[in-house]
Amino acid sequence: MDNYLFSGLKVLDVATVIAAPAAAMMLADFGADVIKIERPGVGDMLRSLSNNWDTPDASNNWFWQMDGRNKRSLTLDLKSAHGKEVLQRLVEDCDVYITNQPYSVRDSLGLTYEDLRSLNPSLIYASLTAYGEKGPERERKGFDQLAYWARSGLMDLMRTPDGAPTQGLPGMGDHPTAVSIYAGIVTALLHRERTGEGGMVHTSLLANGLWSVSGVAQGVMAGGDMTKYRERKRIKPAMMRVYQAQDGRWLQFNMVRNEELLSLLLTGMDALHLLTDERFADSQLLWENRGAFGDELQNVVAQKTSAEWLAIFMELDVPVNRVAIVEETNNDVQILENRMASAPERDDVTVPLIVNHPIQISSVPQVGPIRAPDLGEHAEDILKELGYDQEAIADMKDRGVI
């Protein structure tokens, strides 16, 4: 195997669904040996997300291939003495332990940081919770739609005036949270390299949701007047609206934020006459009549296609963009040339393109992607590495431990 940054780093992925397993995948992408621990016969729910009603239908289990790649799978019944023994032996020899098990489960199984630190003092223990390590919601279960999106306040702010809060997308909060977990682990590994000291990394979906909404939430914490903020948002400034072109596509103007750019925008639209309209004659009137001004812009935008407008605005160096649709990502040159998504080099990965995580470093090569494992696929290999012989492995299979 090639020498990657994390070659030799041993990681246990004792987590489910998206955020925590995706953080383990990121470590695997840089060469770590990641062993995914799953329940016998059941496995991680991540294996079934490609079949959900709110994800696109495809024949190749793409969600599992994206976030489960580059790992080995071992199934363990952690409620059994033998299963617990296997996990403890893995912990004794691992560098990073990643979990999002509820605290009640960790306590009952003896898998808290305090429990495992006694087995391996240099261990980096990465804990993901829904709502945080402390407080009255410590034990609450939650997914990104609940904790990141709804509980943080993000969902409430993402709505049309007088409309209902907007539901989020699968993994929308999980994938950014995975980057936070990864960053915490890497920071802890650097600390361990310098001091020899292990430690506990922790973050939550709520903390990451709050970080995402901090451009408004920090204003609240600074004493900002949200009543006025919400009232202003009822009628959006003209530049904060989206405009539908003749071809049905939408244009976004929200970086047109000074008089010079506004003049260039209106020049390109052949609509400078709007500035002589008595409704929009000065900045105060332009603000007071922002709804009407936006309506006038919409009337003009509807006369050309989005491609025609983009060409005009590009010529004038006005920062306008077309709202992309995901159906275009397969052939998006910008995405492909920057390896935001890339074609797998191995034939056993049946997804034509795999979305990459956003961490790219010119001096640090990445692995794979290697096919995400079948449930328990590497059980015998991993157990033999721990010193179990064939008879002991067969016995564990018979008992349903693995």
In tens digits, the chain (402 residues) has pLDDT values of 479 999 999 999 999 999 999 999 999 999 999 999 999 999 999 999 999 999 999 989 999 999 999 999 999 999 999 999 999 999 999 999 999 999 999 999 999 999 999 999 999 999 999 999 999 999 998 899 999 999 999 999 999 888 999 999 999 999 999 999 999 999 999 999 999 999 999 999 999 999 999 999 999 999 999 999 999 999 999 999 999 999 999 999 999 999 999 999 999 999 999 999 999 999 999 999 999 999 999 999 999 999 999 999 999 999 999 999 999 999 999 999 999 999 998 999 999 999 999 999 999 999 989 999 999 999 999 999 999 999 999 999 999 999
**Number of neighbouring beta carbons within 10 Å of residue 220:** 14
Of all residues in the chain, the percent with pLDDT exceeding 90 is 96
8-64 pLDDT, tens digit per residue, is 999 999 999 999 999 999 999 999 999 999 999 999 999 999 999 999 999 899 999
The reply to whether the predicted model has a pTM over 0.85 is: yes
Q: What's the token pair of residue 76?
A: 């363990």
The domain ranges of the chain are 10-213+372-399, 233-326
pLDDT at residue 260 in the model = 96
Q: Output the 3-class SS for 251-275.
A: EECCCCCCHHHHHHHHHHCCCHHHH
pLDDT at residue 389 in the model = 96
Q: Which helix (H) or strand (E) holds 202?
A: strand 199-204
What is the CATH code of the structural domain delimited by 10-213+372-399? 3.40.50.10540
Q: Which amino acid, residue 150?
A: A
What φ, ψ does residue 318 adopt, rounded to 5°? -100, 130
Assess contact for 32 and 370: CB atoms under 8 A.
no
Assess contact for 312 and 301: CB atoms under 8 A.
no
Q: Which helix (H) or strand (E) holds 37?
A: strand 33-38
**Number of neighbouring beta carbons within 10 Å of residue 93:** 12
Among the listed residues 118, 112, 40, the one whose alpha carbon sits nearest the alpha carbon of residue 79: 40
Assess contact for 113 and 143: CB atoms under 8 A.
no
* Three-state DSSP state, 234: helix
297-312 residues labelled b (16+ CB within 10 A) or e (exposed): beebbeebebeebbeb
Q: Cα(280)–Cα(195) distance, rounded to whole angstroms?
A: 64
28-67 residues labelled b (16+ CB within 10 A) or e (exposed): bbbbbbbbbbbbbeebbebbebbeeeeeeeeeebbbbbbb
CA angle (370 as vertex; 369, 376 as ends), nearest 5: 140
DSSP secondary structure, 340-380, as one string: SEE--SSTT---S-EEPPS--BTTB----PPPPPPTTTTHH
pLDDT at residue 2 in the model = 72
What φ, ψ does residue 242 adopt, rounded to 5°? -110, 150
Q: Cα(23)–Cα(359) distance, rounded to whole angstroms?
A: 11
Pairing of strands 96-99, 10-14: parallel
Count CA atoms closer than 13 A to 233's CA, side-chain side: 15
- What is the DSSP-derived secondary structure letter of residue 17? S
CATH class of 233-326: alpha beta
